[in-house]
Amino acid sequence: MSGTTSQSTGEIDLILSDTILIAQEHVSDIIHQIDLFKIDETQNEYFKNTYLTKLSTDIIKFVELTTLTSKLLISKKKASIPAIKDSHIHLLFILKGINQAQHKNDTFVLEDLIKYELKDNLTQWKIDHIPSIKRYLS
């Protein structure tokens, strides 16, 4: 019986490690997308909307991935990192703001939200939250 439990714990540790590595790569890819981002008034509306849809989808995937990781940490490792929940909430508020700015066609607010708010939040994940999760896994 104890062999099964330790095997399950080992499998969960492996899943958590793999998941956090995927999240780390994913956040780096999103930050790179943001670095390449530029809104131009003459830009084709289709391409702008396609970019924003992809960006939103990638962020949602990142939130889902890191939420799963957080839930596993809490349930299996009895570890909680409160800053993660706050950061998830902030990310979702940023997405809501991006959506509203897009509907209002407010390129100034849209660009600020993406280049500053979103990038700042994701950078915080990259340099603080993900390393914190890794420390719990060590």
Tell me the pLDDT tens digit for each residue of 7-56: 577 888 888 889 999 999 999 999 999 998 877 666 677 888 888 899 99
Q: What is the CATH number of domain 2-137?
A: 1.20.120
Q: Phi/psi of residue 77, each to 5°? A: -110, -5
Among candidate residues 75, 61, 78, 57, the one with its CA nearest the CA of residue 22: 61
* pLDDT tens profile 74-110: 887 787 788 888 999 999 999 999 999 989 988 899 9
